[in-house]
Amino acid sequence: MQIPKDLRNLLALQSLNLSFNNLEGEVPIKEIFGNASAILVNGNDHLCGGLAELQLPTCTNQRSTKWTKSKAFRMVLATIGVVLDSDGFGSVYKGIINQDETIVAVKVLNLQNPKVYKSFMAECKALRNIRHRNLVKILTSCSSLDLKDKDFKALIYELVPNGSLDDWLHLPVDTYNHSRNLSLFQRLNIAIDVAFALNYLHHNCYVSIVHCDLKLSNVLLDSDITAHVNDFGLAKLVLEPDDNLLLEPDDNLSQTQTKYGLGARATIQGDVFSYVILLLEMFTGKRPTDHMFTDDLNLRNFAKEALPVHVMQILDPTLLPKEEESEEIEEYAVNRTEGPSHRTNKLQDCITSIIEIALQCSMESSKDRMNMNGVVMGLHSIRENFS
């Protein structure tokens, strides 16, 4: 924290004791700060400048006084620009750690409400202690002022190199130099990875953490196509309790939940419902905001109505065996004994079982929904049967 500039406007102030307040940055030299005998700044090891009588170190440059530097990390933002377009929590940049030139992801938080960061550093410290193979690792955090004297707060993450699940499922293949199609087995593994991460946050962390914003763009893939959930815990950092980033509109599963549940209180059950939407989107290839979903039709009902005989018709076409990419799908769905291979039969059984888990996780009453531990066990069983 820097010395508040407003103190210089208190012209009647005769003495000022700022000792041992963990202050940083440049000490002014005007108004009361122009009288060395009227101020005390002992015990603030990161202050610089000011009158010579204060015997503080010289400020090296303006930028260094406005950034909090972790002892372990000195972070430089790269000039390549934003990695992802901004979301509700902020913007992501690619950055470099000076010591070993490790590339990192820097989440610069969008701070609209000036009252929300009282416990920022304490909360960040707690988040940095969270460790799970399917969560993006938080390396450190920054809290200071930018060059325009506006609040600057950022989280520095380990960079996950292979983009988001949203990129893999929805961006055109020719956007990249290689095919980004995910096989059914890869998608099943990713679904299990995300379920593992949520189960850890909900039930095995030091305190239950509600993600509040689970969606495809917050699932990142590494070089082995292992999934890592990002942005967990951010709602607690940037929102006050009465700001209401909400996850469950009510128990009637209304259409507003197709937008990942914005509009009710944040709960573990709300996270589970968001996982349902993610799961169905992964295997149908349909976004929950697709133009086909109007009135009472949403992604969940779309999948439910396909059970049991029309499942192959709602499957993401990229997952269909070549011999099934035709009008034969409908005929096969009606009379399964005529035609397709044993592998296609197994595919239908697999997709049917996945949809059934999604439905169990999204029962009308949130109290009746399967938790993430049940999801993990169910998907493991499906994977074993399919493989």
**Hey, which residues does 92 pair with through a beta bridge?**
84, 107
DSSP track, 123-142: HHHHHHT---TTBPPEEEEE
Q: Print burial letters for 250-289: b (CB count within 10 Å at least 16), e (below 16).
A: eeebebebbebbbebebbbbbbbbbbbbbbbbbbbbbbbe
Highest mean pLDDT among 33-42, 133-142, 185-194, 323-332: 185-194
Asked if residue 288 lies in contact with residue 277, where contact means CB atoms within 8 angstroms, the answer is yes
Residue 344 has pLDDT above 80, yes or no: no
Residue 17 has pLDDT above 50, yes or no: yes
DSSP track, 66-128: TS---SS--EEEEEEEEEEEEETTEEEEEEEETTTTEEEEEEEE----TTS-TTHHHHHHHHH
Highest mean pLDDT among 86-90, 232-236, 262-266: 232-236
Residue 264's pLDDT is what? 45
Fill in the amino acid letter for 4: P
CB-based contacts of 286: which residues, under 8 Å, 6+ apart?
Answer: 280, 292, 299, 302, 314
Q: Kindly list the domain boundaries of the chain, sorted by start residue.
A: 5-65, 75-158, 165-386
pTM here is: 0.71
Reduced to 3 states (helix: H, G, I; strand: E, B; else coil), residue 266 is coil
Average pLDDT value for residue range 231-246: 60
Q: Which of 68, 2, 69, 63 is CA-nearest to residue 33?
A: 2
Reduced to 3 states (helix: H, G, I; strand: E, B; else coil), residue 46 is strand
Instruction: Say whether 165-386 and 75-158 share the same fold.
Output: no
Say yes or no: domain 75-158 is CATH 3.40.1280.10.
Answer: no
Average pLDDT value for residue range 355-365: 91
Asked if residue 304 lies in contact with residue 223, where contact means CB atoms within 8 angstroms, the answer is no
Fill in the amino acid letter for 256: T
Phi first, then psi: what are they for 103, rounded to 5°? -80, 135
CA end-to-end span of the chain, whole Å? 56
CB-based contacts of 224: which residues, under 8 Å, 6+ apart?
Answer: none
Phi first, then psi: what are they for 91, rounded to 5°? -120, 150
Active-site residue set: 213
Reduced to 3 states (helix: H, G, I; strand: E, B; else coil), residue 281 is helix
State the chain's mean pLDDT as an integer.
77
Residue 9 has pLDDT above 80, yes or no: no
Higher pLDDT, 16 or 264: 16
Residue 117's pLDDT is what? 59
pLDDT digits (tens, 9 = 90+) for 24-76: 888 888 787 888 888 888 887 788 888 888 888 887 654 433 334 444 444 44
Fold of 165-386: Transferase(Phosphotransferase); domain 1 (1.10.510)
Length of the chain: 387
Residue 112's pLDDT is what? 61
Asked if residue 383 lies in contact with residue 189, where contact means CB atoms within 8 angstroms, the answer is yes
Residue 311 has pLDDT above 80, yes or no: yes
Residue 185 has pLDDT above 90, yes or no: yes
